Structure 1
Amino acid sequence: MREVEKLFSSFQGLQELLTTYNELDSLITNFKAKTQLDCLKGCRKCCHTPAHNIEASVLEMLPLSIHIWQSGQEEYWLQKLSETRPEDPCVLYIPNPSIKSEGGCSKYTWRPLLCRLFGFSAVTDKQGKPVVALCKKVKQLNPDLEAKIQCLIDGGLKVPINSHFAERVSFLNPFFGQTLYPINEAFRLALEVVGYRLTLISRHTTLFR
């Protein structure tokens, strides 16, 4: 446990990232409750896309990578990542609903920022006004929903703004937080960084034992 604490504290902004995620999750929970908006049951459309369409920073993938190293699964995931092609989906994606019926992400708790925001957030127009950005499939099945939700936002309902959270997260760690990669690449880099950092911590602990 102490090694994990050292690992977390060794990365600038990592604890703040988790705090930001908690804040965002609470905001989205309230937004969903007030709008009755939710993902379609069993849908995994947003995951069913080439990984280069989903971008994340190394910082965003560090919590998952630490969890992976903690659970001794690093070799499995590094091998899986080495076998992926650019057009392949995210390695965390489970396409088979019989394996995971509620959704397609095998590591949902540790998902990066974009995956948290998608379908439950807003962009800003030229005047800086928040404009809700719904999932295309939800809009197709509920043609009137977008206008109803926008009316609530115009009336003061708080909604996560994509660009605000993206900027906030990027500045938590200027080195690992500001460059975005396809999610598989960001995951691979984060796993390698955590492995290297663990080696340094282990050597330092041995040296001063």
Structure 2
Amino acid sequence: MDSIAQLIAAFDGTYAGQSMTDLFSLYSQIEEQTASFCKQFNIACAQGCGTCCEHFMPDITTSEARLVAAYLLFVKKDSQLLEQVRQNVDNHEGPCPLYRFDSPYHCQVYPARPLICRLFGACANQDKNGKAVFRRCRYNTEHTMPLSLTFDEDVPVMQDYSYALRSLDDHEGEVGYLSEMVDSLLDQLRFLANMLGLDDSNPDDTPNPMAS
């Protein structure tokens, strides 16, 4: 497998497959809306920046963790990367174990990255008065995005996407840190892959250095 589409197809007819289908459909909608938002208001991260990932461990839902775990097992198939996730189960501060410092394409699971990673610096937030506002990322020292924006019109708001995400989840929106959540689902996915007769359910011993 070399794509999320193939990954979803491989698990078709299972609960895991439906979960991944629903989640990726939401992600696709979010990508379209946030891309339009960023283009309209000249919002962009500096080229090659991944500083936020160096200081943050994402908190994610079970559905998100399932997609990341499946992507690691059946698309990346990188045993060293899986071990890195395991070694960071108790790391709640960051950096994210899926972050590469030695590449401008930092995220090693970019197509399967969680919601917070898709929205950080790419959409508005709701302030205490219910107003949609945008604040420049504190790591954006290159000033490639506006310092501050306030909106009267309807724009993508992080809280709305978070509610939509949690409505998909099978644990009432329960969240946990990326490493522990992903690690907790690896054996479940291996077992399901074995039941489905998938041949590439175990990563080989040769890491793939390229981010997908």
Inter-partner Cα distance in structure 1 for 2:116 and 2:84: 22
Greater mean deviation of Cα atoms: 18-27 or 66-75? 66-75
Report matched runs for 1:151-162 at 5 Å: 153-154=151-152, 156=153, 158-162=154-158
Structure 2 unmatched ranges of 5 or more: 199-212
Inter-partner Cα distance in structure 2 for 1:74 and 1:59: 21
Whichever residue aligns with residue 40 of structure 1, its letter is A
Structure 1 unmatched ranges of 5 or more: 204-209
Instruction: Confirm or deny: 8 A CA contact 1:121 1:132 kept in the other structure.
Output: yes
Match of 1:174 in 2: 170
Match of 1:40 in 2: 46
Deviation, 1:118, is: 0.3
Report matched runs for 1:1-209 at 5 Å: 5=9, 7-10=11-14, 11=16, 12-51=18-57, 54-71=58-75, 73=77, 75-84=79-88, 85-86=90-91, 87-96=93-102, 100-101=103-104, 103-138=105-140, 141-142=142-143, 145-147=146-148, 149-150=149-150, 153-154=151-152, 156=153, 158-175=154-171, 178-202=173-197
Q: What is the percentage of aligned positions where both structures have the same residue?
A: 21
**Structure with the largest fraction of helix:** 1
Deviation, 1:141, is: 4.7
Q: Which has the larger radius of gyration?
A: 1
Instruction: Confirm or deny: 8 A CA contact 2:135 2:146 kept in the other structure.
Output: no
Whichever residue aligns with residue 115 of structure 2, its letter is L
Deviation, 1:130, is: 1.2
Runs of 4+ in 1 over 4 A off after TM superposition: 1-4
Inter-partner Cα distance in structure 2 for 1:120 and 1:37: 7
Inter-partner Cα distance in structure 1 for 2:8 and 2:119: 28
**1:91-146 residue CA offsets vs partner (Å, 9 max, x unmatched):** 110112xxx22x421221110000000001222123322122431123x5549923
Whichever residue aligns with residue 147 of structure 2, its letter is E
Distance 1:144 1:194, change over 3 A: closer
